[in-house]
Structure 1
């Protein structure tokens, strides 16, 4: 018996944490690119919200000035 896609549990969205935690002056992690609020929200966020956070993180990392 096969299961339909609607009955399958949603895919887990992995944390972007790379264990290089250090917040900049805007409270954005230099490792993963999440804001402090997003870091605190992560464990309670559903998969849709986690994907939105990841998209925002990617934008922040891509727009970050190069390191000295």
Structure 2
């Protein structure tokens, strides 16, 4: 769950762009976290936090050496 904290805390601290590099499945993990944190994100946005930095995170997935 460290990634979830990293995702939310950076956004709360006004990060507006983020690119993450990780193995295959990283994009799916981000999508699941966004779904899981939907209510918290909506609450923070209702208080003025912009969408930038949370819904537009860029993901670069890399191949895991030795995977097929």
TM over 0.5: no
Structure number with the higher strand fraction is 2
Larger CA Rg, structure 1 vs 2: 1
- Bigger relative contact order (CA 8 A; separation at least 6): 2
